[in-house]
Structure 1
Amino acid sequence: MMIRTATAEDVPAIVALLMDDPLGAKRENPGDPRYATAFAAIAADPNQVLAVADADGEVVGTLQVTFTPGLSRVGATRATVEGVRVRSDQRGNGLGQQLMEWAIKEATTRGAAMVQLTSDVSRTDAHRFYERLGFVTTHVGMKLNL
């Protein structure tokens, strides 16, 4: 298994991973042309990394890391991890940990001061997973859907 930068050909498999849970099943729409537009924007942005876990040519996991430079914390860059998914038949074998360790290493390599993430309040298993990796709950997240 290797972790690599995603290609446009990986998009359908990534969307399938995003749909492979109760929340994603409600909000994703395979075949929608907006995925190609979004992928092009991600691929063109040097502050974005969309990665996949590739097992013999099959996408079995994914995550996205966004690097945000800022003035707070003495000009620190933050690495935000989003869209972490592991294919259901691959869960429980350490792949999620490998993906997160890869993201943390990528953040360190790029000089980020911290790695942050949000997780839906209903994802209690995910919360335990992130806590096992050393993440701590420090903030209240808020969103405004547009």
Structure 2
Amino acid sequence: MEHLRITTAREGDVGALVGLISSLFQEDAGVRDPHTNLSWPADHARGHFLGLLDKDDALCLVARSGGEIVGYLAGYGRGPYALRPVRVAELQSMYVRKAERGQGVGTRLVEGFLVWARDRDAEQVSVTAYAANERAIHFYERMGFEPRNVSLELGL
């Protein structure tokens, strides 16, 4: 994609980030998890993103094309802990607008996150995706991620 720039999000980007995470919720959790609060982005995403921007152990990247934000990635560092003594960079969420998918935007966002993780001495990078989101799983596997955990649920 021509003229694609990956930058660290700024406070002025938060409105666009709220719109993108709202789309993520509708397209992903909205069709895969009947228990997700789909109004969370409208109610909480602004504060969530502003909080990420203020933390040293968090990162929010935006993908800009032609001056417009077309995707984002949010993540943070955690650990080490006594039980699991490794430093982990957790890719919390990522979304690329439909029109820009398949053009390397997601790859560039993840590459930026991996640089950030290495710079912070992370020993592992992790991401969680719905098992039914085969496109996301395939993308992350192409980026080098390997399946490690399986969550099983039983609705009562």
TM class by smaller structure: 0.7 to 0.9
Within 5 A, what are the aligned runs for 1:28-67? 28=39, 32=43, 34-67=44-77
Q: Within 1, Cα distance between the matches of 2:77 and 2:118?
A: 11
**Is residue 2 of structure 1 aligned with residue 5 of structure 2?**
yes
**1:23 matches 2:28:** yes
- Report the alpha carbon displacement of residue 139 of structure 1 after superposing the two structures with TM: 1.2
**Any stretches of 5+ residues in structure 1 without a counterpart?**
none
Q: Does residue 100 of the first structure (1) align with residue 110 of the second (2)? A: yes
Looking at structure 1, the residues matched to 56 and 152 of structure 2 have their Cα atoms a distance apart, in angstroms, of: 26
Q: In structure 2, what is the equivalent of residue 132 of structure 1?
A: 142
Report the number of matched residues: 142
CA contact (8 A) 1:2 1:54 kept: yes
Whether the 8 Å CA contact 1:4–1:51 is kept in 2: the answer is yes
Which runs of no fewer than 5 residues in structure 2 stay unpaired?
Answer: 31-36
Aligned residue identity for 1:111: D
Q: Residue 22 of structure 2 contacts residue 42 of structure 2 at CA under 8 Å; is this kept in 1? A: no
Instruction: Quote the offset at 1:24 in angstroms.
Output: 5.4
Alignment RMSD = 2.4
| TM-score w.r.t. length of structure 2 | 0.79
For residues 70-92 of structure 1, give each alpha carbon's deviation from its aligned partner in whole angstroms, at most 9, with x where no partner exists: 13598421000021111111001
TM norm structure 1: 0.84
* Structure 1, 133-142 or 85-94: larger mean CA deviation: 133-142
